[in-house]
Amino acid sequence: MEKAINRQKVLLHHLNPSSSNVDLSSSSSIFASVCLAGDSAAYQRTGVFGDDVVIVAAYRTAICKAKRGGFKDTPADDLLAPVLKAVVEKTNLNPSEVGDIVVGSVLAPGALRATECRMAAFYAGFPETVPVRTVNRQCSSGLQAVADVAASIRAGFYEIGIGAGLESMSTNAMGWDGDVNPKVKQFEQARNCLLPMGVTSENVAQRFGVSRKEQDQAAVESHRRAAAATAAGKFKDEIIPVSTKIVDPKTGDETPVTISVDDGIRPNASVADLGKLKPVFKKDGSTTAGNSSQVSDGAGAVLLMKRSTAMQKGLPILGVFRSFSAVGVDPAIMGVGPAAAIPVAVKAAGLELDDIDLFEINEAFASQFVYCRNKLGLDAEKINVNGGAMALGHPLGATGARCTATLLHEMKRRGKDCRFGVISMCIGTGMGAAAVFERGDGVDELSNARKVATNNLLSKDAR
């Protein structure tokens, strides 16, 4: 072990641009660390080399109630175009420099949505030379898009890319078209992939003892925090106003509107009121419309690039992409996904759960949200500080991009008191995804190494 640490010291010595002046024995130096997650954690190069993948802009539309809210008559491509346009206009980036646009989306037919996204890029001013593709990992699709772009930048495929998310649940309803392979009857887990999400919520509540009261309390707190954040203007930095129309269903009359505020928040929600709602998926169950995520419309976009590219362009760095994980869990209790994915992503970043200052955990259902929070022993004051999907809504493919914008802007507001943040969500058919971000101006010289004494590392290894 001692030899390994010495080898790391030598490597760090060579990587440091001013290595001839570095005193590796100094207590203020960053020591070589035990690798907790493979080479990427122990051997991350210093920031001056520009190897980091950074986020320089992250924006979203308002999130609106499907079929009843501000975007009920807005085509999906008209939702995506404004946020794609915003990330380049607000950074003064030449759109032709973007190497790829990856858009997470879930419900629309694949070929149709891919075409709509390509059309949206043209609306937003991107030239024909910039490619577009879609990705679908259900509720994590927006985060998967961001991770795919980060991976491509890290692999050297291009230096600048956009990870985005889009969902119009007004246009594309949840449902299954076509026949199911009868072979599914022979495989319980495959059969459980077809369970309604609400049934999996009931399974989590029953199996892990999450009470109706706990679920309703979590929902009320989500609405309270979202209402407070809205009143304080916290979302103004991340929301791009969208000019669209509202169509009167009776007369067909169109009214021009500009949507810039989330419209699903209920500031006066109470446990007493939610307690009156009947269970939706099970007669004696606990999952209701009030303690589940809202069916919503929305979009978001995240602009990523190499650190060196951002520095050359003089762009402020909003955040640093540190790690990503996607894991599988039992489809019958798919909501436990974050409890499985978060530790993997945190370890891959060379960190521990206690190092994370903020969490954005998608509130698909209160049952699974409460379970994941309790299972990981997380401080409730660190999670969804500005509300979550039970209040804001859950436009499936857009949620990951929405959470990225919300997390990074909140970390920026908190400054030095907030260095690391995590985004996570459960995924239909039994998966979980999570990603770790670092605040843009909070990066150590060696970003994934801890300032700890070498003998502590040796004693830890000995244990």
Phi/psi for 364 (5° steps) reads -60, -45
Q: Is the distance from CB of 362 to CB of 143 less than 8 angstroms? A: no
The H or E element that residue 243 is part of is: strand 242-247
CA 369 to chain CA mean position, Å: 15
Which residue numbers are catalytic? 139, 394, 426
For tokens 């809210």, the residue is: 69
Dist. CA 270–CA 294, nearest whole Å: 17
> Quick one: residue 427, left, alpha or beta (phi over 0 = left, psi -120 to 50 = alpha)?
beta
| Contact yes or no for 75/168 (Cβ under 8 A) | yes
Report yes or no: 99 and 160 within 8 Å, Cβ to Cβ: yes
Take residue 374 and report the two structure tokens written for it. 């309790």
Residues 247/253, Cβ–Cβ less than 8 Å: yes
CB-based contacts of 111, cutoff 8 Å, min separation 6: none
Q: CB neighbours of 35 closer than 8 A, spacing ≥ 6?
A: 41, 42, 43, 350
Torsion angles phi and psi, residue 164, rounded to 5: -135, 175
Identify the sign of the CA torsion 388, 389, 393, 399. Answer: positive
CA distance readout (Å), 19 to 36, 51, 167: 25, 18, 50
Q: 197-200, long-range: CB within 8 Å, 24+ apart, which pairs? A: 197/334, 197/364, 197/365, 197/428, 198/280, 198/281, 198/287, 198/292, 198/365, 199/281, 199/282, 200/331, 200/332, 200/333, 200/334, 200/335, 200/368
Closest alpha carbon to 429 in 349, 333, 287: 333
* CA 177 vs CA 107, 180, 319: distances in Å: 11, 9, 40
